[in-house]
């Protein structure tokens, strides 16, 4: 049994050296399925799935104008809007 565990460990290390990732890690460059968190962020900001950076930022500004504490909103709503913006911007491809 111990020999089998050693072989498995050595196989994982060999895989890591060969492929540059652990066997249980996803391949680099594969696109993950849209998360529930991203779907909630799109609903909160009112943007579509393929929204551009400009559309996300504009929707975030509109949402902040609605929920700002000076206008009757709360700090929690502002933090939710900021988190939604961050989630959606993180999913955009890097422009270079």
pLDDT of the residue at 42:
95
Local confidence band at 31 (pLDDT 50, 70, 90 cut-offs): low
Give 33-96's CATH code, choosing from 1.10.10.10, 3.40.50.720, 1.10.287.110, 1.10.287.610: 1.10.287.110
Q: Which of 95, 90, 84, 96 is nearest to 32 (CA)?
A: 90
Give one DSSP letter per residue of 71-88, joined into a string. Answer: GT--HHHHHHHHHHHHHH
pLDDT of the residue at 80:
94
Local confidence band at 19 (pLDDT 50, 70, 90 cut-offs): confident
Q: Is 33 helix (H, G, I), strand (E, B) or coil?
A: coil
Res 29 pLDDT > 60: no
Quote the CA–CA distance of 21 and 26 in Å, as a whole number.
8
The residues, any chain, with a CB within 8 Å of residue 96's CB and separated by 6 or more, are none
Kindly list the domain boundaries of the chain, sorted by start residue: 33-96
Q: Give the residue-averaged pLDDT of 11-27.
A: 82
Dmax (CA) for the chain in angstroms is 67
pLDDT tens track for 32-87: 556 888 999 999 999 998 899 999 999 999 999 999 999 999 999 999 999 999 99
């Amino acid at each position: 049994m111990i020999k089998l565990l050693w072989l498995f460990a050595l196989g994982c290390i060999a895989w890591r050296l060969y492929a540059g990732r652990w066997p249980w890690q996803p391949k680099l460059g594969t696109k993950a399925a849209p998360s529930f968190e991203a779907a909630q962020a799109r609903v909160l900001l009112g943007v579509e799935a393929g929204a551009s950076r400009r559309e996300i930022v504009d929707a975030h500004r509109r949402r902040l104008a609605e929920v700002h504490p000076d206008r009757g909103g709360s700090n929690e709503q502002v933090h939710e809007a900021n988190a939604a913006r961050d989630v959606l911007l993180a999913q955009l491809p890097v422009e270079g």
